[in-house]
């Protein structure tokens, strides 16, 4: 069976890391044929010009079926960009690095999600669409993660946690058992979430506390 064509939207540092993830998958089992990067920046740095495929308009004009993952760390930006995909030929695969330990079925992992090297997901977890779990994250039992959320390296999520849509959690943060985090909230690097957090806030510290709030209208900019 021939490898499936795949592209990455986002030609920044994380986009290049996702290409590396694809290469590692192919080293185990030749699954993907990497065709290049899309990015609305017409001159992405550190990307071979031969692998730059164009902007969102070019993606929507792509003439054949194409798997695309969005390597965009900012959840509201990622949500907005994915909403601009109009081509019926574009679909969103799940990428899981071969070193991950995943205790859930594919039915519990939403389309377009990216699970990076060393991540561990235990049992009865539900993960939404276009979620990023970066290097070395852990997700405990019975946790639910909303669409578009992004977790930077070594985030630890305990069991029975409920995380809303488009939440961003910074590097090395910890979320204790049973808390809830509202949609479009940002948790700072190294924070320790021991109590539930509302939607549309930025929270930092140990224990994490909201330091500012932002309205939903700002998330569509």
* pLDDT tens track for 31-61: 999 999 999 987 788 888 889 999 999 999 9
Q: Which residues contact 173 (CB under 8 A, 6 or more apart)?
A: 152, 155, 156, 187, 188, 189, 190, 191, 192, 193, 208
Q: What angle do CA 5, 10, 13 make, to 5 degrees?
A: 110
The side-by-side arrangement of strands in the sheet containing 101-102 is 101-102, 120-121, 138-139, 156-157, 174-175, 192-193
Q: Which residue has the higher pLDDT, 2 or 62?
A: 62
The answer on pLDDT for 220 being more than 50 is no
- Whether 123 and 140 have beta carbons less than 8 Å apart is answered as no
Catalytic residue selected from 43, 97, 130, 141: 141
Q: Which domains does the chain have, with CATH numbers?
A: 4-91 (3.40.50.20), 95-204 (2.160.10.10)
Instruction: Round to the nearest angstrom and report the end-to-end CA distance of the chain.
Output: 42
Q: What is the pLDDT of residue 210?
A: 97
Per residue, the 3-state secondary structure of 117-145, as one string, reads: CCCEECCCCEECCCCEECCCCEECCCCEE
97 is catalytic: no
Share of the chain above pLDDT 70, in %: 98
How many Cβ atoms are within 10 Å of 160's Cβ, its own excluded?
15
Beta strand 144-145 with 120-121 is: unpaired
Distance separating alpha carbons of residues 191 and 208, to the nearest angstrom: 6
156-208 pLDDT tens trace: 999 999 999 999 999 999 999 999 999 999 999 999 999 999 999 999 999 99
Q: Tell me phi and psi for residue 65, to 5 degrees.
A: -60, 135
pTM: predicted TM-score of the whole model, two decimal places: 0.94
């Amino acid at each position: 069976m021939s490898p499936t064509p795949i592209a990455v939207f986002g030609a920044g540092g994380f986009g290049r890391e996702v290409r590396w993830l694809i290469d590692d998958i192919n080293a185990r089992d030749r699954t993907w044929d990497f065709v290049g990067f899309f990015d609305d920046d017409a001159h992405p740095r550190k990307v071979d010009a031969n692998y730059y495929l164009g902007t969102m308009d070019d993606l929507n004009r792509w003439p054949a079926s194409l798997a695309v993952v969005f390597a965009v760390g900012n959840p509201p930006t990622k949500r907005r960009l994915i909403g601009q995909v109009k081509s019926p030929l574009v679909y969103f695969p799940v990428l899981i690095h071969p070193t991950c330990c995943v205790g859930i079925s594919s039915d519990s992992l939403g389309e377009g999600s990216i699970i990076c090297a060393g991540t561990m997901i235990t049992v009865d977890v539900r993960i939404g669409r276009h979620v990023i779990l970066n290097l070395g994250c852990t997700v405990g039992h019975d946790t639910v993660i909303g669409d578009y959320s992004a977790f930077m390296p070594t985030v630890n999520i305990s069991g029975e946690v409920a995380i809303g849509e488009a939440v961003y959690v910074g590097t090395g943060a910890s979320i204790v058992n049973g808390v809830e985090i509202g949609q479009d909230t940002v948790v700072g690097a190294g924070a320790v979430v021991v109590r539930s957090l509302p939607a549309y806030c930025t929270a930092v510290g140990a224990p994490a506390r909201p330091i500012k709030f932002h309205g939903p209208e700002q998330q569509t900019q």
